[in-house]
Amino acid sequence: MQPTPAYHWNWAVLISEPYLGWLRDGVLNTVMIALFAWALALSLGTLIGVARTLPYPFLRKLATAYVDVFRNIPVLVQMFLWFFVLPEVLPAEAGHWLKRDLPYPEFFSAVMCLGCYAASRIAEQVRSGIGSVPQGLSAAARASGLSLLQTYRHILLPIGFRIIVPPLISEFLGIFKNTSIALTIGVMEITAASRQIESYTFQGYEAFAAATALYLSISMVLLFLTRRIEARTRIPGWIARGNL
């Protein structure tokens, strides 16, 4: 039995064109998808989370239904639904625009999928944060003459968001990792770029080692920045310090 030949590493392939350009474009697409998806998730998740705490049963049930649907369907299935199914169930003109006329429909579908999925998780975090605010503060605000909207704006949301900064940070990092699913609909993000490099050069170890290093580098930078935010927004006595 002949021994398996040793693998010949070729790191130079990662700094040659067009492979370096593919990785560069992959990083850019990953960051852009994550940032747009996070903006959508934070805004939509905040609205849904607030709706789940309002004294209006219809809005609470509607918000709960959204959370139950989007949180319990695998994100990969949702990606396929946004890209392949949604254009087919819309009216013909809208579906044609979404598939043909919209610039880079794969990017749009990835942003909508990750944003709506993360919004269902952020909604629960916002609901939990608002629920963690002592009821006495809300009662004092209402007794002082503040309306329901003013109570949320000046009391519940400012305190609630500071309480849930740690899980929001985890969700933010999770969106970056979930961008890799976008390769299934043709988005050239980091993982897709690495697979393309592997298929052209047969240097799979190098290609996916580069993807691992890029994901880790992005996560470490984001973790450094977000931990500074967490330290500045922590309410003394409300959130454990932990080992930062």
pLDDT digits 0-9 by tens, 121-146:
999 999 999 988 888 888 888 888 88
Q: State residue 19's pLDDT score.
A: 84
Rounded average pLDDT over 49-78: 93
HEC letters along the chain: CCCCCCCCCCHHHHHCCCHHHHHHHHHHHHHHHHHHHHHHHHHHHHHHHHHCCCCCHHHHHHHHHHHHHHHCCCHHHHHHHHHHHHHHHCCHHHHHHHHHHCCCHHHHHHHHHHHHHHHHHHHHHHHHHHHHCCHHHHHHHHHCCCCHHHHHHHHHHHHHHHHCHHHHHHHHHHHHHHHHHHHHHCCCCHHHHHHHHHHHHCCHHHHHHHHHHHHHHHHHHHHHHHHHHHHHHCCCCCCCCCCC
Cis-peptide, bond into residue 103, ω within 30° of zero: no
C-alpha span between 181 and 110 (Å, rounded): 8
pLDDT score of 243 more than 50 = no
Region of poorest pLDDT, from 11-15, 50-54, 121-125, 224-228? 11-15
Region of poorest pLDDT, from 10-24, 40-54, 146-160, 230-244? 230-244
Residue appearing with tokens 């973790």: 223
C-alpha span between 136 and 55 (Å, rounded): 17
Round the average pLDDT of the chain to a whole number and report it: 87
Residues 124, 184, 33, 15: is their CA dihedral positive or negative? positive
C-alpha span between 167 and 243 (Å, rounded): 16
pLDDT score of 108 more than 50 = yes
pLDDT digits (tens, 9 = 90+) for 180-217: 999 999 888 999 999 988 888 888 888 889 999 999 99
Residue type for position 228: R
pTM: 0.88
